[in-house]
Amino acid sequence: MKYEKLCKQIIDLVGGKENIDAVVHCMTRLRFTLKDQELANSNKEAIKDIPEVIDVVSNKVSFQIIIGTEVSQIHPELLTLLGMKETEEVKVKKNVFKAILDLLSESISPILPAMMAVGLMAGVLAIFVATGLLKDTSPTYIIFNSIKDGLFYFLPIFMAVSASKRLGAPLYLGILLAGTLLTTSINGVENLSLFGLSLPTITYSNTFIPILLGLWFMGKVNQVVSKFMPKSLDYFFSPVILIGITLPVTLFLFGPIGTWISDGLTIGVEFLTGTFGSWIVVALYAACQPFLIMLGAGNFVIPLVLSAFTSQGYEEIFVVAWTISDLAVSGAMLGYFLRAKDQKQKQLFGSVAFSAFMGITEPAIYGAFLKYRRPFFAVMIGGGLGGLFAGLMHVKAYAMTNLFGIVSFIGNNDQNNFYFMIIALVIGFIVSLVAGYLLWLPKTEVQSEKVIAEVESKSTLNKVTIAAPISGEIKPLEEIKDDAFSSGALGKGLGILPKEKVVKSPIKGKVASLFPTNHAIGIVSEDGVEVLLHIGIDTVDLKGEHFRALVEQGAEVALGDPLIEVDFDQVIAAGYDPTVIMIVTNTQDYLEVLPNLTNDQPEGNELITVIM
C-alpha cells in the first residue's frame, strides 16, 4: 500500500478507528464523520504538519483533511485499513439546508464528465458548422447533437443512478421510477388521472427535483418495509410495494412540489439578473468564489445552475463566473511564482497555479491564500474585472464545464459568445497575475532580508540577533489567533508551531519574569533587549498543568539554556493552540525589529534581528 504510513497517521490523529463513523472524499479532501470530533480537533496542527496534508477544515458537519488530487488514491487504502466499504453511508445529523446542498453536490459530481462531454461535443459541432464542414441539417450533425438531448431529457435517470444509494433507495427501483416518469404515458400528458383523481400536467424530462424527492421517499419507505417484511418474502414483494407506493405519491405530491421549486429557482435567477443585472452578479461571484470555497459554501449555486440549464438551455451567471475565477486564481499564483526567489516558495506557487489552471483551486486557496491573504485581493481585482466584462457582454454557458470545455461556449453557433468568454478569461488571468505580482507578500516578509542585508553592509549600525527558542514551523505574527499579539500591540515578533518539548533561551541574559503558571517567561539581554516567550494561546487557563519550569526568576541564562519543558501533546489534547510566541516587548526603543520568516526549521538560526 503506497499510502499506508500516511493513512495510519491520519487514523491515529483523528482519534483512532473506533472514533470514525465514516469517511468519504471529493476531488481534494477526505471528509470524516467522527463520534467525538474534539479528539481530531485537538490534533489539527499535528495533522497539518503531515507533509502530504495541505490544510484541515473542521465544522459541525464533518472533519475535512485537504490533501489534493491524490486523495482518490488514498481513500481506498484508508477504507481498507479501517475495514470499511466504499458504499458506507455517513450517518450524522446535519443542518437541513447543508444536507440538501451536499446531496446535490455529491449527486451531480458523477454526472459532470457526461455534462462536460456534452459541452465539448456542442462546441466541436459548432466549429464544424462555422467552418462549413457540416450543416446543421445533416444526419451526422443531428445524431451527434442528440447527445445533448440524451443527457438533459433523461436527466432524471442519471440522477436516479447517482443519488439512489445516498437516499437509501434500491438502485434499479430508482431507475425504474425515473424511467416510468419519462414514458409517453406520463411525461407531459394532459388530463391524466389516477384512482379517479386528476393529476397535474407535468413534464418530468429535463428536471431533477421530482425524482430526487421521489427517491428520498422511496428510501424512507424501504426502511419501514425492511423492518416488517419477512426475509423469505422480501425478494418477491418488497420491490412491488416500494414502486407501488412511491409512484403514486410522486405523481400526486412530488411532481407538483418539484415543479414549484424548479419554477422558484428560475424566478430566483431571473430576479438576480433583472434586479441587480447579470453583469453585477457575475462580477461579484467571480471575485468572491475563493471565499465561498474557503467557507465550504461553493455548492449552493448548483440548484440554480441546473434549473437554468433545464429551463432555458443555457446559464449566464455562475458557470461563466467560476470558470473566470478559477483562471484568476491560477493567474494570482503565477504572479507570486514569478516574484518569488525562494525555491520552496516557487515550488508551492507553481504547483498550485497549475492545479488551479486545471480547475482545482483548493490547494491554492488553502495552501497559499489563507497563509498570505493578499492573493484574495488579486483574484477580487482580476476575477471581478473578467466577470464584469463577461456579464456586460451577456456571455452564456451552454454546458456545466470549466476551462477545458471552453469550446462549449460556442453553443448554438454563437461565435461572439465564445470570443467574449475568451476575452473575459484573458482579463481575469492577466489582471490577477499582475495584481499578484504587485501585491506580493506582506512587507514584513519582503523587507526583512533587505534591511538585514543593508545592516550587515553598514558598520555604523549595531544589531542584536535573537535565536529560535524551539524548532518548528514559523508563523507571521499576523496569523496568531490572539489579537493582542497579532496586532503588534505588545511588540514585534513571530510564532513557532513547536516540534519538540523544551523551550530554550533565545539570547544570553537574565530571567526578568516567570509567570506562576510557567506558560510565559521574560528575558532581558545584556544589551537591554526584552524578549517575551508566551507558550500557547490562552494556556494560562491550564494553571500550570503540563508546564515545568527549568529555571527560576532572576537566573542568568546562556543562549540555548533550557527554560521550560512542555507536554505539547497534552496541551493540544486539552484544546489549546500550542504556538510559541516570541516578541520584543520594547520594540519602540529600537530602529527596527525584523522577524526572519524564511526559515522553516529555525532551531539555532537567527530568527529576529534587532537594529540598535
Evaluate whether 310 touches 155 at the Cβ level (below 8 Å): yes
d(CA 291, CA 369): 10
| Residue pointed to by grid coordinates 461553493 | 298
Evaluate whether 379 touches 284 at the Cβ level (below 8 Å): no
| Residue pointed to by grid coordinates 526572519 | 596
Q: Can you list the alpha helix ranges (DSSP code H) found in 393-442?
A: 415-439
**Using only C-alpha atoms, what is the Rg of the chain?**
30
d(CA 575, CA 108): 37
| Residue pointed to by grid coordinates 463577461 | 390
Please list, in sequence order, all residues whose beta carbon lies within 8 angstroms of the beta carbon of residue 59, skipping any fewer than 6 positions away.
Answer: 296
Burial level of 329, CB count in 10 A (0-12/13-18/19+)?
Answer: buried
Dihedral angle over CA of 444, 445, 447, 450, nearest 10: 150
d(CA 373, CA 135): 51
d(CA 283, CA 381): 10
Using N-to-C axis directions, what is the helix angle for 255-271 and 302-312, rounded to 10°?
100
Cα–Cα separations (whole angstroms), residue 256 to 54, 173, 213: 45, 21, 11
H-helix or E-strand spanning residue 222 = helix 209-228
d(CA 452, CA 460): 14
Residue 232, number of CB atoms within 10 A of its CB: 8
d(CA 504, CA 496): 13
User: Catalytic pick from 8, 19, 21, 26?
Assistant: 26
Active site residue 26: yes
Q: Enumerate the active-site residues.
A: 26
